[in-house]
């Protein structure tokens, strides 16, 4: 067993950071579209230490707020959710028998209970995705070590792949690897903000140094991208967000040719699809970090929230705007077929009192205790 000691990024916290208060405004079309599609949304904002569960309710919105330390990437296959945070990766399982009992009674159609947490240390988790032949491997973008990794109970993480231009496994964020696209169970594409092999080297060309890479070859599919994020394979096409331009694009994986589909008013990061619609997360952009980008020019409108784009026309059909202190979104995940889910925090009372047993064990439980 190898041990690696690195200087801490910051002092270890004694308490969970206080979440940031927020307000929101929405277009008249946002909640009705969620209802029409039969979908709810999960949204992470690491800046505010929140996981948001966005649900349509009686024609309006109900937003459930859950606190985690620096929540980022999300993955879901209907039965389970994975959530990356500052130094842990959480896994939640849907307990549908508990859902009808959650307050308000009879409203929820899913209840995700925490079942496991893997302590990774502060590896700069970004996107996470399920993969493997049985969809039983959780792949994690390990930004600090510039690699893709999986989890093992014996180790902080298991490195599985890194770009060929990264010469060493070092906690130095050399290229800002950030996005992961899994196709047919295997990692197929990743995004990075540069092809540099020095600590923080990607920062020198934030405007146009971004790349889309093929996995496992590491070949560059497209370069010259402006801070690319959120690569996705959907409807037979490869999509990503050029965050620095605020644009949703498609990329031809054979030629690297990219086509602008829609522009949005903010730093675009976090992408989900339902039917003919794309759900895009927007951030206001930190000027001192992202100076020099097209989005940071004077007079450019920058928002924080969720924009829904019709892929057939490229037009915005609905939006949800966060106001106040919430300024950055990381991930947007759609839950098709789940209209009103509950996400249970690890320290919640329901974790202590809600027991889920195999069907084979229920025969031994008194009838009045069964749900």
pLDDT per residue as tens digits for the range 47-71: 999 999 999 999 999 999 999 999 9
Q: Residue 100: helix, strand or coil by DSSP?
A: helix
Arithmetic mean of pLDDT, 193-200: 98
Per-residue tokens: 285: 């952009």
327, 283 Cβ separation under 8 angstroms: yes
Per-residue tokens: 325: 């202190």
Q: Please report the beta strands in 199-246, taking only residues with DSSP state E, as ranges in sequence order.
A: 210-214, 220-225, 228-234, 237-242
The number of domains in the chain is 1
pLDDT per residue as tens digits for the range 329-371: 999 999 999 999 999 998 877 777 777 777 776 677 776 666 5
pTM for this one?
0.91
Residue 210: count of CB within 10 angstroms of its CB? 29
- DSSP, residue by residue, 269-290: EEEEEETTEEEEEEE---TTTS
What distance in Å separates the CA atoms of residue 267 and residue 329, rounded to the nearest whole number?
A: 9
| Residue 326 pLDDT | 86
Taking the alpha carbons at both ends of the chain, their separation in whole angstroms is 45
| 64: in domain | yes
| Residue 5 pLDDT | 46
Per-residue tokens: 14: 């004694």
What distance in Å separates the CA atoms of residue 136 and residue 244, rounded to the nearest whole number?
A: 34
In the Cβ-directed half-sphere of 294, how many Cα atoms lie within 13 Å?
A: 16
Domain hosting 169: range is 22-369
Arithmetic mean of pLDDT, 37-42: 98
| 118: in domain | yes
**ω into 104 cis (within 30 of 0):** yes
| 13: in domain | no
**How open is the CA angle 261-44-138, to the nearest 5 degrees?**
90
| Residue 75 pLDDT | 97
**Chain CA centroid to CA 34, Å:** 19
Q: Please report the beta strands in 277-350, taking only residues with DSSP state E, as ranges in sequence order.
A: 277-283, 305-310, 316-324, 331-336, 341-343
| 137: in domain | yes
Residue 175 has pLDDT above 90, yes or no: yes
207 phi-psi bin (left φ>0, alpha ψ -120 to 50, beta other): alpha
**DSSP type of residue 38:** T
Q: What is the largest CA-CA distance in the chain?
A: 68
Arithmetic mean of pLDDT, 5-33: 68
| 7: in domain | no
Between residues 324 and 38, which one has the greater pLDDT?
Answer: 38
| 75: in domain | yes
pLDDT per residue as tens digits for the range 217-248: 999 999 999 999 999 999 999 999 999 999 99
Q: Residue 204: helix, strand or coil by DSSP?
A: helix
Instruction: Kindly state the percentage of the chain with pLDDT values over 70.
Output: 89
Q: What is the CATH number of the domain that holds 243?
A: 2.120.10.30
Residue 305: count of CB within 10 angstroms of its CB? 24
Residue 155: count of CB within 10 angstroms of its CB? 14
pLDDT per residue as tens digits for the range 143-173: 999 999 999 999 999 999 999 999 999 999 9
Q: Residue 160: helix, strand or coil by DSSP?
A: strand
| 235: in domain | yes
Those residues whose C-beta lies under 8 Å from the C-beta of residue 188, and which sit 6 or more positions away, are 181, 182, 214, 215, 233
Mean confidence (pLDDT) of the chain:
90
pLDDT band at 18 (very low <50, low <70, confident <90, very high): low
- Count of residues making up the chain: 371
**β-pair type (267-274, 277-283):** antiparallel
What distance in Å separates the CA atoms of residue 292 and residue 199, rounded to the nearest whole number?
A: 20
Residue 3 has pLDDT above 60, yes or no: no
- Per the listing, tokens 């028998």 go with 97
pLDDT band at 101 (very low <50, low <70, confident <90, very high): confident
What distance in Å separates the CA atoms of residue 241 and residue 237, rounded to the nearest whole number?
A: 13
| 17: in domain | no
pLDDT band at 34 (very low <50, low <70, confident <90, very high): very high
pLDDT per residue as tens digits for the range 209-220: 999 999 999 999
């Amino acid at each position: 067993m190898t041990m690696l000691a690195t200087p801490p990024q910051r002092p270890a916290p004694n308490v969970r950071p206080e979440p940031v208060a927020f307000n929101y405004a929405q277009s008249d079309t946002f909640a009705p579209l969620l209802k029409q599609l039969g979908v709810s949304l999960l949204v992470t904002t690491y800046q505010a230490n929140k996981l948001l569960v966005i649900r349509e309710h009686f024609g309006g919105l109900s937003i459930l707020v859950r606190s985690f330390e620096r929540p980022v990437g999300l993955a879901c296959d209907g039965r389970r959710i994975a959530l990356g945070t500052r130094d842990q990766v959480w896994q939640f399982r849907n307990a549908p028998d508990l859902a009808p009992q959650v307050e308000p009674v009879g409203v929820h159609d899913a209840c995700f209970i925490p079942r496991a947490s893997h302590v990774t240390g502060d590896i700069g988790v970004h996107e996470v995705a399920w993969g493997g032949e049985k969809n039983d491997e959780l792949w994690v973008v390990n930004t600090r070590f510039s690699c893709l990794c999986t989890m093992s109970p014996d180790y902080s993480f298991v490195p599985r792949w890194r770009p060929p231009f990264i010469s060493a496994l070092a906690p130095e964020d050399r290229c800002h690897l950030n996005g992961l696209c899994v196709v047919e169970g295997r990692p197929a594409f990743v995004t990075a903000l540069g092809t540099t092999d020095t600590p923080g080297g990607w920062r020198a060309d934030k405007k146009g140094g971004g790349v889309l890479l093929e996995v496992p070859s590491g070949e560059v599919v497209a370069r010259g991208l402006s801070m690319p994020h959120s690569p996705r394979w959907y409807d037979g096409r490869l999509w990503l967000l050029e965050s620095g331009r605020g644009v949703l694009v498609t990329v031809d994986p054979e030629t690297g040719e990219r086509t602008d589909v829609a522009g949005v008013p903010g730093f675009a990061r976090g992408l989900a699809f339902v039917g003919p619609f794309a759900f895009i997360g927007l951030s206001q952009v930190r000027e001192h970090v992202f100076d020099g980008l097209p989005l940071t020019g004077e007079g450019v409108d920058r928002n924080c929230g969720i924009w829904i784009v019709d892929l057939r026309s490229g037009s915005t059909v609905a939006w949800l705007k966060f106001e106040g202190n919430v300024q950055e979104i990381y991930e947007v995940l759609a839950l098709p077929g789940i209209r009103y889910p509950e996400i249970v925090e690890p320290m919640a009372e329901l974790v202590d009192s809600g027991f889920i047993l195999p069907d084979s064990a229920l025969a031994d439980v008194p009838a009045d205790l069964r749900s």
